[in-house]
Structure 1
Amino acid sequence: MSMATEIVQLLVQSAGTWLFEGTRSDLSDREWMALRFLALANRLSRTPTALAGFLGTTRGGASQITAALQEKGLVVRKPSADDKRSITLCLTAEGEKFLKQDPINALRDQIVALEGSDRSRLRDTLRRVLVGLDVAERRHHTDVCNQCVFLVENGEGKDRHFKCRLFRKSIAPTETSQLCTYFEGRS
């Protein structure tokens, strides 16, 4: 078996520990993915359109997933604070509580147990693989806001503030470590 095939098999095995959990939690895999995404996304990416892009589905598909999560009391739709014509998808307190039972937490805990340098190497390597897959499939890549070319930082200390040049909106410091579906990597 080639090393590449072995790595793929290891990834598949690791996914098997947290995928297909619908029967135990009453959520489908796509609903879990949506819930996880909404917990990690910045406010500009918590829209039905951005969720559809992240899930690789249509807006209608994302709407059905959102409706299922709403029915279960895990997500609410709110008018956007930035644009009242838009909708922001937000986790409820019950949704946040539900994520504490997420089957993927066992995988996260194993990664946390790795040496810091091993975690960094794993993150950077997986990021390169995912970028390559996104390019090959002509998908838009989702990544952490603070790595995006559109993020501008001004000032220092208490006067430090961030802005997204794409949306021309201020970004809270906490949002810079969250996911953005409009991400463009720095070269």
Structure 2
Amino acid sequence: MKVANEVIELLVQSAGTWLFEGHRSGLTDREWMALRFLARANRFSKTPSALATYLGTTRTSASQIAAVLAEKGLLTRKASTEDKRSIALSVTPQGTKFLDRDPISALRDQVVILELADRTRLRDALRQALRRLDTALRRHHTDVCSECMFLAERSKQKGSHFECRLFRKELALKETELLCTHFERRT
């Protein structure tokens, strides 16, 4: 229990480097979370509904956050090419540049200098803890496509390609490392 408490305290202290009250660089915590998420989300998760799922809030609140980010020129909102009834949210070039000032970058930079094996163990341990917590709290888990049960790798003559079986759409290799709110863990 002592080590578990120390781990929690260290996570709380690390959050202090990027969680704050009010605004930092003109954004609230939730706006930073939304911008980070949308910069790493796959094309199926760049909607107000998916953003609401990720943030653990209502669709109305997520839409308001997206509107603020759009007003600041960090995000665009337009009709989805996948579903005309839906809105697609995209980070603008200005938003991508703005992410260079992300307060969480200092923590990421410290994780980057860890040995690869240590980074991998840390990632896997946190992923496992969050999955269990999401299950206990009956929350939906968001994760990368490469870990999802819906991802299928298909062989072609010129190499492999990927497909999301949920959406029945092809995915590029780089898309398999993006976040998806429709994620389902492999059993």
Partner residue, 1:132:
132
Asked if residue 64 in structure 1 is aligned to residue 88 in structure 2, the reply is no
Seen in structure 2, the aligned counterparts of structure 1 residues 157 and 122 have a Cα distance that, compared at 3 Å, is farther
Seen in structure 2, the aligned counterparts of structure 1 residues 156 and 79 have a Cα distance that, compared at 3 Å, is same
Task: Report the Cα offset of residue 157 of structure 1.
Answer: 7.2
Question: How far, CA to CA, are the matches of 2:31 and 2:23 in structure 1?
Answer: 12
Q: Secondary structure of the equivalent of 2:163?
A: strand
Q: Secondary structure of the equivalent of 2:101?
A: coil
Question: How far, CA to CA, are the matches of 1:51 and 1:169 in structure 2?
Answer: 21
Mean CA deviation greater in 117-126 or 166-175: 166-175
Question: How far, CA to CA, are the matches of 2:91 and 2:167 in structure 1?
Answer: 23
Partner residue, 2:45:
45
Question: How far, CA to CA, are the matches of 2:82 and 2:65 in structure 1?
Answer: 24
Task: Report the Cα offset of residue 172 of structure 1.
Answer: 2.1
Question: How far, CA to CA, are the matches of 1:157 and 1:76 in structure 2?
Answer: 38
Partner residue, 1:73:
73
Runs of 4+ in 1 over 4 A off after TM superposition: none
Q: Which amino acid aligns with 2:132?
A: G
Asked if residue 97 in structure 1 is aligned to residue 91 in structure 2, the reply is no
Give structure 2 stretches of 5+ with no counterpart. none
Asked if residue 15 in structure 1 is aligned to residue 45 in structure 2, the reply is no
Task: Report the Cα offset of residue 169 of structure 1.
Answer: 1.5
Note the alpha carbon deviations across 1:5-44, whole angstroms, 9 max, x for none: 1111100000000111753311000000000000001000
Note the alpha carbon deviations across 1:152-184, whole angstroms, 9 max, x for none: 111157342211111112222211010011111
Q: Percent identity?
A: 65
Q: Which amino acid aligns with 2:101?
A: Q
Task: Report the Cα offset of residue 147 of structure 1.
Answer: 0.8
Q: Secondary structure of the equivalent of 1:160?
A: strand
Query: What TM-score does the superposition give when structure 1 sets the normalisation length?
Result: 0.96
Asked if residue 143 in structure 1 is aligned to residue 146 in structure 2, the reply is no
Query: What TM-score does the superposition give when structure 2 sets the normalisation length?
Result: 0.96
Question: How far, CA to CA, are the matches of 1:39 and 1:88 in structure 2?
Answer: 13
Q: Secondary structure of the equivalent of 1:81?
A: coil
Partner residue, 1:24:
24
Contact 1:73–1:92 (CA under 8 A) maintained in structure 2: yes
Question: How far, CA to CA, are the matches of 2:130 and 2:112 in structure 1?
Answer: 21
State how many pairs are aligned: 187
Q: Which amino acid aligns with 1:67?
A: A
CA RMSD of aligned residues (A): 1.4
- Write out aligned runs for 1:83-94 (5 A): 83-94=83-94
Question: How far, CA to CA, are the matches of 1:157 and 1:12 in structure 2?
Answer: 50
Q: Secondary structure of the equivalent of 2:158?
A: helix
Question: How far, CA to CA, are the matches of 1:157 and 1:140 in structure 2?
Answer: 37
